[in-house]
Amino acid sequence: MSDTHPIEGHRAEGRDKVTGAAWYAFEHPVPDAVYAYPLQAPIASGRIGAVDTAEALAMPGVITVLWGGVAIPFGTENFELALFERSEVTYRGQLVGAVIADTLENARAAAAAVRVDYAPDEHDVVLRADHPDLFRPEKINPALPTDTGYGDVAAGLAGATVRVAATYTTPVQHNNPMEPHAAIASWDSAANHGGSVLTVYDSTQGPTADRDTIAAVLGLDPDQVRVVSPHVGGGFGSKGTTRPHVILAAIAARAVDRPVKVAMTRQQMFALAGHRTPTIQRMELGASADGRLTALAHDVLEHTATRTEFAEQTAACTRVMYGARAMRTTHRLVRLNVPAPSWMRAPGETPGMYALESAMDELAVALGMDPVELRVVNDPSAEPESGLPFSSRNLVACLREGAERFGWAGRDPRPGVRRRGRWLAGTGVAASTYPARRRPSTATASAVDGGYEVRVAAADIGTGARTALGDIAASVLGVDAARVRVVLGDSALPDAPLAGGSMGTASWGSAVADACAALLKDGEHGSADTADDVAKDEGWARHSFGAQFAEVLVDPLTGEVRVPRLLGVFAAGHIINPVLARSQFIGGMTMGLSMALFEETAVDATAGGFVRADLAQYHVASCADVPSVEACWIEEVDPHLWPGGGKGIGEIGITGTAAAIGNAVYHATGHRVRDLPITPAKLLATA
């Protein structure tokens, strides 16, 4: 494909979004819809006893109450989606029922009047390093080996000139997309054959997968379900899996024989929309005097739910980053009374690179070596663990370019010696990485009304996928992007994989490019299925890399941390649309900054649940926190990628950011906070 295509910088749906013409899931005008409001368990473990719905049923506008005693059986073992099927409660906030009423307000008021008896059991919600029930999962997300290694780590450490052993911890974090999870479900009357039986307006990162999951849970055929999701207000992984609100909407709509709307409140999202596991990460590094790693070990402890297992691949990044002589990565889980953890932007790499890149900085300090140079001398020629050649790897170029742009040269490595008024100033660096993969997708392209229409069941979760796919199609077709209309966000379109794993553009783009090429041959229509091509993707280690540089100011008397400057340089293959790409990079970096300094869902050991469950308490960066976040990139020409040549950019921006900021806080203050977020409370405790 051509490198020169028109870059307007305008999102295809931008005007619709700013004028309110873009409908999000809850906003679709479905006539006669009523509302379901969930009932949630106030205990973390136990059983549901008697349920008294009499008072609720007598309240204004109430149509019915759903709960275990009257709900329908499911065709699924998925505990979180088989709503009300079991009387067992395994986490605080679990759905135990719902009230359906004519208005949201009436449903919500009546929900408070349903009396549910509970028989609580002991619960356990706190991850700790000495937990007796830690176990080794069979695999880690997505299907990686749990433990890996090569060489003799103990000997490598014993023979090292310099050693670092440190434990880093990260808290529970929540995705918190701006648009809450919401759905409208509508069943067609039995007489209407030929169409879908169930239509769902959902906020999802993948209409195809959402359709398949909904169908499986409800015991339907996939072609009996249609998921419509043209606009999605962010997901960050939390909308990559089907969430219980959709199932609730579907069974409620069936129960009352009318369309039903369900929208999670922000507070409900903390229990029902996934979260990132807390981590306890033990790092052990050994190096010879020249900085070369003689041993690198990354041992991870995480939580999962009692009924659903999810093992975040936190140490997987260590298998990719540096050429240590010996290496070990392990993952252990403990099942707690928590909702199931799940994907949150760059699962694995985000917490893992925090620990690895913080430990690398500690090693640089211990060696008396510049942290940029330490990373350069350990840059491997092939993927350390697999031995596979890199399709392209430009970490060193990113570090060099970033150092130049940031003004790294001549940095005084001494910590705690730079004053700027009441502030201590420091700088830090860390590397970023994320895998470049794609999944099979289908798409069609047609000549329509003097222009072109591309159809693919992709999701635009705010990334600009619609625009980027239009750019790709226009490039293949050799026309202006304005002449291409991209139709996505509907499971009735050609099947496509999730917007997730930074794979969307490569997966959908491959199919769109092929379909457009087929259209050029046919003249009117082209279709594509990339399954065979994608199956041939083995044989190369494909990863994006990057380098992030942070400048921080710390007030030693108050513990306040500010980040006046954050710079990221990325090598992520060919950048399809620079305007959209910059937004993805700086968005990821901003989220990484939030992770470093703010984001934390407190866990209440006694109540057995998450606390601070709203955006006034779960803080993400405000505009005042990000005065200068800049991203640039090194254009890579990588022949071993998909034809569009991009590696995926949705997630790499968040990886490494927290380490760069933590390293800068150490440089500013001389204090190493190894427990995120780096708050005034923790910095004052070190003083």
Partner 1 sequence: MKQFTFARAGSPADATRQFRNGAAYLGGGTNLVDLMRLGVTAPDHVIDVTGAVSDEITAHDGGLTIGAGVRNSDLSSHPLVRERYPMLARAVLNGASGQIRNAATVGGNLLQRTRCPYFQDVSMPCNKRSPGSGCQATAPGADTANMAVLGHTPFCVATHPSDLAVALTALNARVRVVSQAGVSQARGMAPDGGRWVDMPGLHRLPGGAPDHDTVLRPGELITEVELPPPAGGRQTYRKVRERASFAFALVSIAALLDVGPDGRVRDCRIALGGVAHAPWRALAAERVVLGVPPAAEVFAGAAEAELRYAHPLAGNAYKVTLARNLITTVLEELIP
Task: Write out the catalytic residue numbers.
Answer: 651
Q: How many CA atoms lie within 13 A of 415 on its CB side?
A: 19
CA dist., res. 528 & res. 514, Å (int)? 6
If one asks whether residue 34 binds partner 1 (CB under 8 A), the answer comes out as no
**115 near partner 1 (CB under 8 A):** no
Distances, alpha carbon 64 to alpha carbons 45, 110, 241, in Å: 27, 10, 28
Residue 560 in contact with partner 1, rule: CB under 8 A: yes
Give me the residues paired with residue 526 across strands: 445
Write down the least CB distance from residue 361 to partner 1, Å: 22
Contacts of 332 (CB under 8 A, 6+ apart): 134, 135, 136, 137, 299, 300, 301, 302
Cα separation, 112 vs 133, in Å, equals: 37
**Interatomic CA distance for residues 88 and 84, integer angstroms:** 9
Q: How many residues line the site for partner 1 (CB under 8 A)?
A: 44
DSSP 551: E
Rounded to whole angstroms, how far apart are CA atoms 154 and 359?
Answer: 18
Question: H-helix or E-strand containing 545?
Answer: strand 541-554
**Quick one: 579 or 586, whose CB is closer to partner 1?**
586
169 in contact with partner 1 (CB under 8 A): no
Report the alpha-carbon distance of residue 13 to residue 467 in Å, rounded: 8
The one segment of 49-57, 103-111, 409-417, 525-533 that binds partner 1 by CB under 8 A = 103-111
Residue (386 or 558) nearer to partner 1, CB = 558
Among 35, 423, 598, 633, binds partner 1 (CB under 8 A): 598
Per-residue binding string, partner 1, 243-272, x by CB under 8 A, is ------------------------x-----
Name the one range near partner 1 by CB under 8 A: 73-81, 158-166, 507-515, 612-620.
612-620
> Is the CB of 245 or the CB of 543 nearer to partner 1?
245
Nearer to partner 1, 90 or 294 (CB): 90
| Contacting residue, 418, 525, 619, 640, with partner 1 by CB under 8 A | 619
The smaller minimum CB distance to partner 1, of residues 21 and 602, is found at 602
Give me the least distance between CB of 60 and partner 1, in Å please. Answer: 8
Q: What is the DSSP letter of 349?
A: H
Under rule CB under 8 A, residue 604 binds partner 1: yes
- Cα–Cα distances in Å, from 227 out to 30, 210, 307, 498? 14, 7, 27, 13
Task: Tell me if 178 contacts partner 1 by CB under 8 A.
Answer: no
Taking the C-alpha atoms of residue 542 and residue 564, their distance in angstroms, rounded to an integer, is: 33
Binder of partner 1 out of 25, 109, 445, 456 (CB under 8 A)? 109
Question: Are 399 and 431 in contact, with CB atoms under 8 Å apart?
Answer: yes
Q: What's the closest the beta carbon of residue 42 comes to partner 1, in angstroms?
A: 4
Which of 190, 623 has the CB closer to partner 1?
623
Which residue in the set 12, 13, 40, 380 belongs to the binding site for partner 1 (CB under 8 A)?
A: 40
Residues 6+ apart with CB under 8 A from 225: 196, 197, 198, 199, 200, 211, 214, 215, 218, 491
Q: 671, 560 in Cβ contact below 8 A?
A: no
372: Cβ contacts below 8 Å, ≥ 6 apart: 399, 400, 403, 408, 429, 547
> Which amino acid, one-letter code, is at 53?
T
Q: What does residue 207 show for φ and ψ, rounded to 5 degrees?
A: -60, -35
Considering the complex, state which of residue 59 and residue 447 has its C-beta at the smaller distance from partner 1: 59
65 Cβ contact partners less than 8 Å away, ≥ 6 residues apart: 53, 56, 57, 97, 98, 99, 100, 110, 114
* 381 part of the interface to partner 1, by CB under 8 A: no
Q: Which stretch binds partner 1 (CB under 8 A): 309-317, 436-444, 544-552, 600-608?
A: 600-608
Residue 677 sits in the site that holds partner 1 (CB under 8 A): yes
Residue 603 or 664 with smaller CB distance to partner 1: 603
Stretch that binds partner 1, among 162-170, 364-372, 426-434, 556-564 (CB under 8 A): 556-564
The structure tokens listed for 442 are 């289908």
Question: Which window, 154-162, 168-176, 540-548, 602-610, contacts partner 1 (CB under 8 A)?
Answer: 602-610
Q: How far apart are CA 461 and CA 580, in angstroms?
A: 12
Shortest Cβ 417–partner 1 spacing (Å): 20
The one segment of 185-193, 340-348, 498-506, 607-615 that binds partner 1 by CB under 8 A? 607-615
- Residue 681, interface with partner 1 (CB under 8 A)? yes
* Residue 126 lies near partner 1 (rule: CB under 8 A): yes
8 A C-beta contact, residue 119 and residue 47: yes
Residues 219-238 that bind partner 1 (CB under 8 A): none
For residue 664, what is the enclosing H or E element?
Answer: helix 657-669
Measured from the CB atom, the residue of 54 and 684 that comes closer to partner 1 is 684
Give me the amino acid identity at 58. A
Contact status: 60 vs partner 1 (CB under 8 A): yes
- Residue with Cβ nearer partner 1 (104 or 397): 104
Could you say which residues in the range 413-452 bind partner 1, by CB under 8 A?
422
Q: Is 206 within 8 Å of 240 (Cβ atoms)?
A: yes
Neighbours of 491 (CB within 10 A): 29
Q: Interface with partner 1 includes 112 (CB under 8 A)?
A: yes
Residues near 265 by beta carbon (within 8 Å), at least 6 away in sequence: 180
- Using CB under 8 A as the binding rule, the residues of this chain from 313 to 372 that contact partner 1 are none
Q: Is 597 in the site for partner 1 (CB under 8 A)?
A: yes
Nearer to partner 1 by Cβ, of 256 and 620: the residue is 620
Considering beta carbons, is residue 38 or 235 the nearer one to partner 1?
Answer: 38
Q: Does 562 engage in binding with partner 1 (CB under 8 A)?
A: yes
Residues 235, 273: Cα–Cα separation, whole Å = 10
Per-position x/- string for 625-644, each x denoting binding to partner 1 as judged by CB under 8 A, each - no binding: x-------------------
Question: What is the rounded distance in angstroms from the CA atom of residue 665 to the CA atom of residue 636?
Answer: 32
Compute the Cα dihedral for 136, 142, 147, 153 and give only its sign. Answer: negative
CB of 104 to partner 1, least distance (A): 9
Give the nearest distance from C-beta 624 to partner 1 in angstroms: 4
Q: Which of 144, 377, 607, 632 binds partner 1 (CB under 8 A)?
A: 607
Decide: is 191 part of the binding site for partner 1 (CB under 8 A): no
Q: Give the residue, chosen from 192, 386, 617, 628, that forms a contact with partner 1 under the rule CB under 8 A.
A: 617
- Tell me the Cα Rg of the chain: 26
| CA–CA distance, 663 with 651 (Å, rounded to integer) | 21
Strand, coil or helix: 595: helix
By CB under 8 A, residue 50 contacts partner 1: no
Give the interface with partner 1 as residue ranges (CB under 8 A).
40, 42, 60, 105, 108-109, 112, 126, 267, 422, 557-562, 597-598, 602-607, 611-614, 616-617, 619, 621-625, 677, 679-682, 684-685, 687
